[in-house]
Structures are given as structure tokens and as C-alpha cells.
Amino acid sequence: MAEHVAEHAAYPVGLRLSGRRVVVLGAGQVAQRRLPSLIAAGADIVLISPSATPSVEAMADTGEIRWERRRYQDGDLDGAWYALISTDDPEANTAASREAEARRVWCVRSDDAEAATAWTPATGRSEGVTVAVLTGQDPRRSAAVRDAIVEGLRDGSLAAPHHRRPHTPGVALVGGGPGDPDLITVRGRRLLAEADVVIADRLGPRDLLAELPPHVEVIDAAKIPYGRFMAQEAINNALIEHAKAGKAVVRLKGGDPFVFGRGMEEAQALAEAGIPCTVVPGISSTISVPGAAGIPVTHRGVAHEFTVVSGHVAPDDERSLVDWPALAKLRGTLVVLMGVENSGAIAAALVAHGRPAGTPAAVIQEGTTATQRRVDATLATLGETVRAEGVRPPAVIVIGDVVTVGPAATAK
């Protein structure tokens, strides 16, 4: 019988286990990996094992599973629809497998796939689609195929021939990350793949735009005709106009929409116009760009805090909302965005209010992209160094002792 079964491919099927008894024997690493999916399926799970990993024990403590602290006994599979056998006792596994066969309970065995009547596929989910992959007894290949399919579905690179699902017209404010197209979130990339219109910032990940289907209208926010409107007001109007035309609109922004990205202004304008708005956070350049340049914004024994400020107006400008004297008294890391033009004035203000002139500083231009470069200085030399090196925006300025602890600094 076993030889006959082994000659045939496994028959794929989706088990609906909600409210149905599932018995899990053993509470080690295998059970720890499989239990969350069984819990998500709504199964009535009985775990039988004298001990458990801390994670499995926590599932029992929260009432997600019932745990009987003992070894397997004949009759434990009575009334079960499905069994997972993963104890470290081969004899118990064989006995339980024999009981499962007698009771016609589908049974997975972690120690002997040939003796099992069911195999667990490598599974993944993306937007309501469950992907399950079986490649015989090669779990690594199953996982690799699963990952490739799920990733393709998530980022839109795998186009399945189906009627596009109806969508509610609206706007997604998507944070595109610091510049490297691989650093956009999975959700952000998926929404881009589903968009009818993309209104993109200059500092957004431009390489992603080349991946869009030809029917997608791409609008450069910097080139929207402003007329009598302010630039931001014109962008708001464009978002509303396209959404009201029944389009799925993505507003692609650099970094995170709510970190100096005017994302809330756009969200408020959409709300006033009755337009549905989805906010997709992005990886902010405040931590990703220093990290890409080998600078941790915090480090044990060096900096227990980091502060992010905008440098688009100088410290002595009446429009500035930054308390520069207070910042100068902090001992942690200071991250300045949009501060290239005012770098000298910012450094001078910090020194004037008590920050040591020898405090290390670094400027990272076009961080995370192929043209990234890092320039090091101190507060005393920051302004002159920026000018001499021809640093231009976009660039992130990092001020503090963390500048000297990274591998890039050590290598110098």
C-alpha cells in the first residue's frame, strides 16, 4: 500500500478546519511554526505534550489552544479531523500514525514524510490569495517557489490574467522611502501596480515609475501648472480632480508622507472633499540614510536619543519653529533634513548655544542610491566643508558622536 501511494502525486486540497478538532502531538519547533496557521483557520486545537517551547506555552496561556501536559496515549485521535505528529519519540509517532490510519484521520508526520497521509505545503498569503506549494519531499524548493510567487503578487510584478477587481476611487499617500526602489514597502509597491494615476515627487523613488504599465498616467508634481495657486494647493486639487473622475490615485512621496512631506495637508484636503484616503507609511530618510552610510542614530554608551529637525529655514529666520538653544544642550544625535543651504548657520547656532565646536558631523548626499556619498566634518567646519565639497540636496546631516562609531568611520 505504501509503495502504491508513493507512486502518485499528492492531491492538493484546502482544509476548512474551523471548529473542528485538530490534535497536535509534540510542542517543539515544528509545532511552534504550524500552530499559528491552525489557530488562524479557527481549528479546535488540542496539544498533547509533556513540555512546550515558550512560544507554544504562550498560545496555551492565552487560550488559543488546549494543552494536555502528558505523552501520547492510544485514543487521543478519537474525533479528530486532522493530526500533526511532531514528538521526539519515534515509537509514539509510529503508534499515533497507526491510529490515524485506523481512524481515517489525515496525518502529517515531521519525522517521516513517507509514513504520513498528508504533507504540509509551503504557504503564503497576499491580498486574500493563499499560495500553497508542494514539491514532493523538497521543502526548501517548496518555500523558494512560494516566496517567489507571493513576492510577485505583492509587488505587482506577477500579473495573473483576471478581471481587475472593482476599486473604490480614492487616493493613497504612499511613502516611497529614501530613494532605493527596493526600500518601498510591499503595500506601497502593490498600490502602485494597481494605480490609474501616479502623482510623484521629485525625491520619490523614480526607478519605480519605469515599472508601471503603459496605461498608468504619471504626473510629475513639480510640473503641475500652478497658475494662481500655491504649489501645494495645486497638488491637492490635482489629487481631488483625478479621484473624482473615478481613478485610483497614488501620491508617491519620498521618505514617509508625514515626516516633512506635507502628507497631512493632502490628507486634510482630501477629507474636506470627501475623497477616501489611505496612508502608507514609508521608510524615513532620517534613520535609513544614516544607516546606509554606516551611522547608527543611537548607540549604546554614546547616544540614548536622536532628534529630527528641518533645516529649510535658518536658525535666525523668524519662520523657524525649532528651539535651537534647547537642541544645543542635548547630548544625543541630531538629524537635520533639508539643511544643506543653511548648514553653516545651523552649525554656528549650535556652537553659539553650547554644543562643542569639535562635535563630529556627516553629510550623506542622495542616500541609499547608486550615487550616495558621505562627507565628514565637525560643527566648526560643517558649512565650509559642504561648500567645498559641492554637496547638494537631497542630503541628510547627522551631528553627534555616533558619526565616529560606524564601520565607515573606523575604516578611515
| Strand (E) or helix (H) holding 25 | strand 21-25
Residue 39 CA to residue 23 CA, distance in Å, equals 12
Q: Are 323 and 298 in contact (CB under 8 A)?
A: no
Residue 289 CA to residue 304 CA, distance in Å, equals 19
| Positions marked active-site | 201, 223
Which of 167, 193, 176, 142 has the alpha carbon at shortest distance from 257? 176
Neighbouring CB atoms inside 10 A of 11's CB total 7
368: left (phi over 0), alpha (psi -120 to 50) or beta: left
Chain centroid to CA 87: how far? Answer: 35
Which residues does 253 contact at the CB level (< 8 Å), separation at least 6?
Answer: 173, 174, 175, 176, 201, 203, 204, 261, 263, 282
Q: Looking at the DSSP assignment, which residues form a beta bridge with residue 78?
A: none
